[in-house]
Structure formats: structure tokens, C-alpha cells
Chain A
Amino acid sequence: MSQKTDHHVILRVVAKPLIPIISLFAFYVQFHGDYSPGGGFQAGVIFAVAVILYALIFGIAPAMRAVPPVFTRSLAAFGFLLYAGVGVWALIMGGNFLDYDALFNEPPGGHDGQHYGILLIELGVLLAVAGSMLSIFYAFAGRVTEIKDEDW
């Protein structure tokens, strides 16, 4: 760590234990979203915030090494595909698009499909939201000036 960033020592010390807790809290919001306020979108934002906090304290370059932009972009696309994929799975099993009841061909009264269906969908939302938040953050934070001052 260089001399220059030394006066951020308090920030670094405080942020280090916070970041894992924030990520953990994201998953709490995600999986407890069935019973309490929360769900994929909020969890995705909280998860992205953990990485953004890391980038703010330790710099954008280490953050991009830890969570590369290619990964965040793919995460966003993959989350989207997971969501739509559940819908297509229901289609293949003979139901309508996104019909969770059709997922496992359950007898009437069985609701496993409803449970797993929404769980997977919310996971897709988590990945897509976290991926896109981070991609947007990287796009802004990692931007280099395209026009030099003397070119104006």
C-alpha cells in the first residue's frame, strides 16, 4: 500500500469486515424473500454494493481484478437466460410460458414447482441485477477521457 492512501486506513479497516457481511446479507434478503420483504432485485443491488464499496475503498483496478467486467457482463446475460430458461422449461413440459405448476408434471395439489420455480427466477433476477449494476458502475468509473483537454 502506498504512502498516499495511508490516511484511508480507518476506512480500509472498517470496510474489510463489512464487505463479507454485506454479501451475506444479500443472500439473506434473497432467500428470505419468500417470507419477508426482499427478493432478487434488492439482493442483487446489495450484492453489487459490496463490490462497489470494495472499489471505492481499494480502487477500481483491484475491484476489476477481483470481479472482471467480462464476468459481470456475462453474469447479467446469464441471469436473464436463467429467468427465460425456466419459462422455456415450463413450455417444454407442456405448460404455458412460466407456468411453474408444469415444471415437474406434478399431480394436482403438488406445489413443488411453484416453490422451485420462483426460487430459480429470483436467482436469475439476482444475477442479472448484480451483473448489470456492476457493469454500469464499471462503465462509469472506468471511463477514460476520450478527448484531451488541449484538443478542445
Chain B
Amino acid sequence: MIEWILELAPAWAEAHAPALIVVLPLLAGPICAFLPGQGRTAWLFTVLVTGLCTLLALVLLAQVQSVEGGAIISYAMGGWEPPFGIEFRIDALNVLVLLLVSVIAFLTSIFGWPSIQAEINEEKRAMFFGAFQVCFMGLLGVTATGDAFNLFVFLELSSIATYVLVALGSGRDRRALPAAINYLLMGTIGASFYVVGVGFLYASTGTLNMADLAVRLQDVGGNRAVQVGFAFILVGLGLKAAMFPLHQWLPNAYSYSPSFVTAFLAATATKVAIYALVRFLFSVFSLEYIFEGASLALILAPMGIAAMLACSFQAIFQSDIRRTLAYSSVAQVGYMLLGISLGTAAGVSAGMFHLVNHALMKGALFMAVAGVVLTYKGTRIHDFAGLGRSAPWTMTAFAIGALSLIGVPLTAGFQSKFALVSALLSSGWWWAAMIVVFSSVLAVIYMGRILEAVFFRPPNNPQKRHKEAPMLLLVPLWILALANIWVGINGNFVSGLADNAAAALFVGGAQ
């Protein structure tokens, strides 16, 4: 497949793919704002751009994989050579995230049209797609860049666009506005912490390029300024990644934003922040620092476990399905952090594997919920009763996503949880492995409640007729649902990518 992609791709796409994948949505954002009509052209344009970005991500993947052990593609912005200029640096780790973000953006923007027609005012739709493109571009930029300050700029770009997108949910539910303000305050604090941390690193090393930082930090050693910088970056990115207990912005933002935005954000935003965290933990800093080892074992691991337990419990007591899924998202971030906190290649690989799988399952679940919002206008468990009979296709896909979230064998969730448990056991953390299993039992309870209502309870409104979500929504939904099963049966492709990603970090990805 690699040779095939490299053969088909034109030379300019291969040479400039790292820049183009960010530049395309960057250009598309303001163009969308100009497009006339009631948003239909803007939507088609968005689908086109996200599709092209997916192709570019595939080209990058092929380029990275064309060399044994993973090539590193470096792109000098404006022809200024790194470490002086801004560098876009693609390796096995971030190409995985790039591919994930662009595929999810492509699938969600296909399904988005009916849902946006129902939820966003006509005159705001073109601007809505513009904001979506900027958000998408920011997420790709955070992933692609090799410059610590540039990462901050892209992080802010994507976040500011996200606040707008969340606030646009106010047409359906006014509580979207306080949710957006809350997210804005928290997100801005997170970004400020990050930039303060980068400031400390810059003061002690004099460079902002990540690869260069990694080299120079070894000479500087673990002085106090570096430690403070590390702490600021950890908290700042932790806030963006919804690391427990910094996750308070997430449940409201996910519950009240437009369905399309929820499906996209749940599958990408926190994932990109976790990628940035991994990049700093293992690539910029290295494990030789005692303070970093301590922070992994004493901060990330307990926080991950606390998220897995506390947020799973909270998910059980929610009556709104989107809130259940949002709390479950925080719990799943806990699994990823637990894997990363092991500090071994197997642990990081399991974390990245779960990151991808979680995007697949949460994408499917939130898309199915969006379908129900569209046809039946309700997101409480009570509203879902009996839907298994009136909307079988939507709900079967929902059930596949739910089973995958629980970690039932033959689904993606099982594969990555299995990888996580074996990584934990090989490091001797058997107690943590038991907590993972226990937390999965909690997932059985909170997803089981919903599935029970969907399939076994009679509809609370007998007038509810057979009403399926539109085709445009069902196709991407089922692509994601089938991807869950495919990864569950034959997980080698994704887990191989995750292994390569972890290997790139541990075999000298930074140097």
C-alpha cells in the first residue's frame, strides 16, 4: 500500500505535504466565511478540504513508513532552517495523530450536514464551517509542528475556534453559553500555563525548537527553572487534555455544543493535547530527569487512576446520555495517561493505541446520539427507551460503540485494554491492571443502563414511529462502527502504528 500511495501522489504533494495539510484548512477557513448560500456550498467545500487532508495524511504516513523504523520528515517554514526557523516535523508518532484527526474530521463533516441544518441558523452556517476549519487546522498544526511556541499558537487557534463552535449550541440549548465561557476560562488558563512553561525553557536554553530543546536540556540538566517550566507545561497541557481533576470544562462543553461539534471534539481535541503531552514528556524532556520519573509515577498514574474510577462513577449517575459519554471520555483519558505514565515503550504504545480506539468508539457513539437528536430531539436515557425498535440501524451502531467502550472481545476497546493490561503487568503494576478491569466493570454499568433502555424498554411515547437517521449520517456512523470491529478482530494495523509511534520516542526520536 505504501508504494501505491507514493506512486500515485504528485511530486508537489509529497514535497510539501507537512505544510499543505495545515495550509489547506487555513485557507479554507476564511474562504468558507465568504461562500454564499445557506451553508450547503460551505459544507461541500469542507468535505472536500477534509478529504484532501486525509489524503495528505496518508501520503505522510507512506513517507514515514517508507524507511525501516520510521523516517523523520522535516519541513522548514519559509526556507528558514531549523532550529532558527519554524520547523514542521513529522515522525511515526504524530503522523498517527494527523491521520486520526483528518479521518475523523472527514467522516464527521460528511455526517454534519443534516445535523447542522437542524441546529444552526441559516445565516450562521457558512461562518460555522469557517470556524470548524480553523479548529481543524489548529489541531493539525499542534500535531505537525516541531516548534514549542508555534504549538502554543496553533493550540490557541484551535481552542478559540472551539469556544465559538461550543457557543453555537445555544440555538438548541442556552446552557451552551455558560459552557463555552467556562471552557474559555479554563482553556485560556491552560494555554497560559503552557506558554509560561515554554518561557522558562526558553530562558534556560535559548531555543524553541523541540528537537534542539531536547539536546540542550541535557546540558542544562535539571535546574529549578527547567523543573518549573516542566510543571507549567504538564499542568497546561493536562488542562487541555482533560486530565483529572482539570476536566471540569469537558462535560458541559460536550453536552451542550452542537452534535456535530461534540462528535468531532470528543474524537480529536483531547487526543491532540495528549499527543502534545507525550511529545513533551518523552521527546523534549527525557526520562533521565528524576523529577520527570517522579511526576510520571506520582502524578500521572494516580490522576489517571482517579479519573478511571471517579469519572466512571459519575458517568453512572448521569441521566443525560451525552453527559454519560463525556464523563466516560475523562475516564478513558485516564487509561491513556496510565499507559503513558508507565514510561515504557509498551505503555506508551498501549496509550496511543487506546487513544486511536477511543476516537473511533466515541466518534461512533456521539454520531449515533446526533442521529437521535436529529430525529427524536432528546438526549436523556428516558428519551432513548425503545429506540432499538424504531431506529435499529442507528442503535446497532451505537451498541457496537458501547461494547467497544466497555472492552468486549472482538471490538477495538478490548484490543487496547488488553495491550494496556499486559503493559501494566510486564511492569509489575498488577494492582493498576486490576483497577483497569474494575473500571471496565463500571463501564458495563453505565453503558448497560443505556443499552437496556434502548433495546429492552418499551418506548415511553407509543406514537414514536419507525424513524431512522438520514443516510448521510448512517454511512459515516457505520464506517466508524465497522472500524471498531475491524480493529477488534485484526488490530495489527493500528497497534503496529502505535508501536512505531512509541518506538520513535524511545529509540531517539528526539535526536
Question: B29 contacts A96, CB within 8 Å?
Answer: no
Q: Which residue of A lies closest to B130 (CB)?
A: A77
Question: A101 contacts B33, CB within 8 Å?
Answer: no
Q: Which residue of B lies closest to A79 (CB)?
A: B30
Question: A88 contacts B30, CB within 8 Å?
Answer: no
Would you give the shortest CB distance from B133 to chain A, in whole angstroms?
11
Interface residues of A in 43-59 (CB under 8 A from B): none
Question: A88 contacts B33, CB within 8 Å?
Answer: no
Question: B23 contacts A96, CB within 8 Å?
Answer: no
Interface residues of A in 72-122 (CB under 8 A from B): 73-74, 76-78, 80-81, 84-85, 87-88, 90-91, 95-102
Question: B27 contacts A84, CB within 8 Å?
Answer: yes
Question: B31 contacts A101, CB within 8 Å?
Answer: no
Question: A96 contacts B27, CB within 8 Å?
Answer: no
Q: Does B76 contact A (CB under 8 A)?
A: yes
Q: Does B360 contact A (CB under 8 A)?
A: no
Interface residues of B in 1-36 (CB under 8 A from A): 12, 16, 19-20, 23, 26-27, 29-31, 33-34
| Residues A96 and B75 in contact in the complex (CB < 8 Å), given A84-B23, A84-B26, A91-B16 | yes
Q: Which residue of A lies closest to B86 (CB)?
A: A98
Task: Convert B218-229 into 0s and 1s, putting 1 for each residue whose CB lies closer than 8 angstroms to a CB of A.
Answer: 000000000000
Size bin of chain B's contact surface: 10 to 19
Partner of B19, one of A78, A80, A85, A96: A96
A97 to B29, CA, bound (A): 18
A26 to B20, CA, bound (A): 33
A76 to B31, CA, bound (A): 11
Q: A77-B30, A81-B31, A96-B78 are in contact. List 14 more A-B contacts (CB 8 A).
A: A78-B30, A80-B29, A84-B27, A90-B78, A91-B12, A91-B23, A96-B16, A96-B75, A96-B77, A96-B79, A97-B19, A97-B23, A98-B77, A101-B79
Would you give the shortest CB distance from B388 to chain A, in whole angstroms?
40
Question: A102 contacts B79, CB within 8 Å?
Answer: yes
Tell me which residues across on chain A come within 8 A of B23, comparing CB atoms.
84, 87-88, 91, 97
Question: B33 contacts A77, CB within 8 Å?
Answer: yes
Would you give the shortest CB distance from A136 to chain B, in whole angstroms?
12
Which of B's residues lie within 8 Å of A, judged by CB? 12, 16, 19-20, 23, 26-27, 29-31, 33-34, 75-79, 130
Which of A's residues lie within 8 Å of B, judged by CB? 73-74, 76-78, 80-81, 84-85, 87-88, 90-91, 95-102
A73 to B26, CA, bound (A): 17
A98 to B30, CA, bound (A): 18
Would you give the shortest CB distance from B157 to chain A, in whole angstroms?
11
Tell me which residues across on chain B come within 8 A of A85, comparing CB atoms.
27
A100 to B18, CA, bound (A): 18
Q: Which residue of B lies closest to A128 (CB)?
A: B30
Would you give the shortest CB distance from B218 to chain A, in whole angstroms?
30
Tell me which residues across on chain A come within 8 A of B79, comparing CB atoms.
95-96, 99, 101-102
In this complex, which of A73, A80, A81, A96 has the most chain B Cβ atoms within 10 angstroms of its Cβ? A96
Q: Which residue of B lies closest to A74 (CB)?
A: B34
Would you give the shortest CB distance from B360 to chain A, in whole angstroms?
31
Question: B30 contacts A80, CB within 8 Å?
Answer: yes
Tell me which residues across on chain A come within 8 A of B130, comparing CB atoms.
77
Q: Which residue of B lies closest to A81 (CB)?
A: B30
Task: Show 15 residue pairs from A and B whose CB-CB distance is below 8 angstroms, ordered by the A residue.
Answer: A77-B33, A78-B30, A81-B27, A88-B23, A91-B12, A91-B23, A96-B75, A97-B16, A97-B19, A97-B20, A97-B23, A97-B75, A97-B77, A99-B79, A102-B79
